[in-house]
Amino acid sequence: MQEELELLLDSLEVYSPSTKEGAMSALLQDRMRRLGFRNVRTDEAGNAIGEVGSGRPHLLLCGHMDTIPGRLPVRREGDRIYGRGAADAKSPMCAMISAASQFDGPLHVTVACVTREEGDSLGVNTLIDAGGDYDAAVFGEPGGAQRLAVGYRGRIEARLTVGTPGGHAASSWLHPSAVDHALQVFSRMKAYERRKQVDDDHFRSVNISLTLIRGGSYSNVIPRRCAVTLDVRIPPGLSAHDVKSELTAIVENHAHRSPGVALKLAFVEPTEPYEAPTDSLVVRTFQRSILMNLKTRPIFTHKTGTGDMNTMAERMGIPCVTYGPGDSKLEHTDGEFVEVSDYLNSISVLKGVLGEFGKLSSAR
């Protein structure tokens, strides 16, 4: 227990906001070598990677070492350890390292501690680009030792720009406003959102949020230009292509009915939604391990955000789940903590998963 807690506390003491994970990567590589990992290495993204076990199948345990900006003092109070990353997501990452360090069986395990998950996901994309014959992957994010996240919604960032001739506000009826037209388009998109709602189930619903808006140049001039950024969340059952087509049609329809108004809708590279098959080997091993180690039934959860799990599942086509200690409600807050008991329970569950994965795979 002491070694597992030291790893977590040492990791929390290293400040590693996204894009500044170098010291964290060096610490983890050193610790993995001391714990007996083989082929410990880094790559061009700064990921810290090590391996244990042998043979087939090949399981990836992937945590992220970066955090949001903002230092927090590291301290322990009773059963709680506080610090930046205590929940999101150094405790899940350290639980993976600790569990893997105690495993030596007929299963090839790669532990990857990746960079920039809180930013552009360079770490996981570099890991994917390097290849790897993984049969399944587990991603480290807070949820609690009893909970297993089997699904994430997808995301599109949409950028709408509107241009009009503008004019004097004293004769506003003569001059279409770029801001007014942007808000009209947004209103039609919200109507589309309402048609894609599932009662009392945010995970199965489309959500469209206006997150940035900029328009106007002077207090008595009708705005000539407006730029809007939209955050669009996509449930399983819909693809990013489906939603992009629907939103594009809304903009094109508005443009057709608004001569003299220039509208353009562009999209940042989307993240597709993902939901793991509940009969997949990786899900079944977590079920068994939680039952055996915690003496309680596992709780399957679906997250309304997105994660590196979406990227891996889409690009590599393997079953993926997300697991780890901590309360997800504490993510990106200044009150981050993890309960020691939850952290240690998660290590026990992960150790059980590694043992069961090889056994169940051989029995298939």
User: What residues act catalytically?
Assistant: 66, 117
In contact, 85 and 336? CB cutoff 8 Å: yes
> Quick one: 334 exposed, middle or buried, by C-beta within 10 A (0-12, 13-18, 19+)?
exposed
Supply 198's token pair: 């599932």
Residue 235 phi, psi dihedral angles, 5° rounding: -85, 160
* CA gap 28, 7 in Å, rounded: 9
Alpha helix locations (H) across the chain? Answer: 2-13, 22-34, 90-101, 122-129, 178-195, 240-256, 281-294, 308-316, 340-363
In contact, 152 and 268? CB cutoff 8 Å: no
Of 273, 299, 288, 294, residue with least CA distance to 342 = 294
Per-residue burial over 111-138, b = 16 or more CB atoms within 10 Å of its CB, e = otherwise: bbbbbbbbeebbbbbbbbeeebebbbbb
